[in-house]
Amino acid sequence: MAAIARWKTALSQMLQQWGWFNLGLFILNKFIATLSKGSWRIYRYHFVAQPVPAEALLPPRRGRNIEIRLIDEQDEVIGQFPRPAEAIKERFRQGAKCLVAFKEGQFVGFLWLLLGSYQEDEVRALYTPLPKERTAWDFDVYVEPESRLGFTFLRLWDEANHFLKHHDISWSCSRISAFNAGSLSAHARLGTVRLGSAIFFYAGRWQVTLASLSPYFHLSSYPGSFPEFRLDTRKLGKT
Amino acid sequence: MQHLEEVRNILSDVLSLGERKNQLKTDSILLGNIPELDSMAVVNVITALEDHFGITVDDDEISAETFETLGSLTRFVEQKLAG
């Protein structure tokens, strides 16, 4: 009985945070992924743009004990990243920049930026933020569980914004899973604007993409075939 | 806890809890139970508490235990006021 009550509470919270559509997709994904042993999957992403603010997010006296460093692919701290080594290698190959947070010398988080197009590593898709000289791509912001209440997240973003301003970037685009309410609300607090969304349905080697922005529909049967999403921030104005 | 009501009001204002404010009791779980209470909101809550009570909170004093319940947050404020 207690387990049923916990399930009901969890479902009710998910419904409140995600809405019926996303909850239905989430349940369907769990169902077909289990039946197909993982070869059939559903992803839903929201594409958002976040302004690079003129002011720091943290008050000056906060987060001073958190050091942020821009690392290269030879840095030993990469061994502590909770990500596959191959995925990290591929990010650097694409030209991504990695900001790493340290507290008292200990690794506590990272944030990735890319000035240019990003080849997604979860589904087959290419994201191109536009205009290229004013818009970046940010992805995979991670903070160690014990540091999530502190200022690591904001220190990472303050340093990222400093980096972006230095490169004359006004907006940073990203994609957020519709099933990740925490990330959606964190981004919303950073002032994100929604640009569209896409659903990726995987069935074996096939990927069907349905999106609210161009190319709207795409069918892929091999890794080299993917939709390109051009995420244009020109209509969003200056920050 | 004589400052419970004030801390509840500050939390409610900063997090825009609306009607949910009335459900906040001394032992109400905050972290993990109020989706609005993320790391950005924590900064705003701490700043509001500092301004309202005239206290100073160091980074190292901000912990999951402090923000666990409305009661633990109020106890923290009252310890700062007593100190």
Beta-carbon contacts of A65 under 8 Å, excluding residues fewer than 6 positions away, are A103, A104, B59, B60
Cβ–Cβ gap B59/A63 under 8 Å: yes
Q: Token pair of B63, please?
A: 């912990």
Average pLDDT over residues A98-113: 96
Q: Is the pLDDT reported for residue A89 higher than 70?
A: yes
Of B31, B39, B62, the CB nearest to A153: B39
Average pLDDT over residues A99-127: 96
For chain B, give me the number of helices (H) and strands (E)? 3, 0
Q: Number of residue pairs across A and B with CB atoms under 8 Å?
A: 49
**Using beta carbons and an 8 Å cutoff, which residues of A are at the interface with B?**
17, 57-59, 62-65, 143, 146, 148-154, 181-182, 185-186, 189-190
Which pLDDT score is estimated for B6?
93
Which pLDDT score is estimated for A238?
62
Residue ranges, chain B, pLDDT below 70: none
Helix axis angle for B70-82 and B4-15, nearest 10°, is 120
Q: What is the value of pTM for the model shown?
A: 0.87
Contact A52, A168 (CB under 8 A): no
Q: Is the pLDDT reported for residue A231 higher than 90?
A: yes
Q: What angle do CA B27, B31, B37 make, to 5 degrees?
A: 120
Tens digits of per-residue pLDDT, A150-205? 899 999 999 999 999 999 999 999 999 998 877 787 788 888 999 999 999 999 99
Which pLDDT score is estimated for A1?
67
Which pLDDT score is estimated for A117?
96
**Backbone Cα Rg of chain B:** 11
Residues in chain B within 8 Å Cβ distance of A146: 64
Nearest CA in chain A to B31: A149
Cβ–Cβ gap B35/A182 under 8 Å: yes
Cβ–Cβ gap B42/A149 under 8 Å: yes
Distance from CA of A122 to the nearest CA of B (A): 26
Contact A195, A211 (CB under 8 A): no
Residues in chain B within 8 Å Cβ distance of A149: 31, 39, 42, 62-64, 67
Instruction: Tell me the three state secondary structure of residue A107.
Output: strand
Provide the ipTM: 0.79
User: pLDDT class for A239, splitting at 50, 70, 90?
Assistant: low
Distance from CA of A230 to the nearest CA of B (A): 30
Residues in chain A within 8 Å Cβ distance of B60: 65
Beta-carbon contacts of A112 under 8 Å, excluding residues fewer than 6 positions away, are A91, A96, A97, A98, A99, A138, A139, A140, A141
Start-to-end CA span in chain B (Å): 16
Averaged pLDDT score across all residues of chain A:
91
Q: Give the lowest-confidence range in A36-50, A131-145, B30-44.
A: B30-44
Contact B46, B62 (CB under 8 A): yes
Say which DSSP state B62 is in. Answer: -
Of the candidates A157, A73, A64, the residue with the CA atom closest to the CA atom of residue A102: A64
Cβ–Cβ gap A150/B41 under 8 Å: no
Nearest CA in chain A to B67: A149
Strands A171-177 and A135-143: parallel
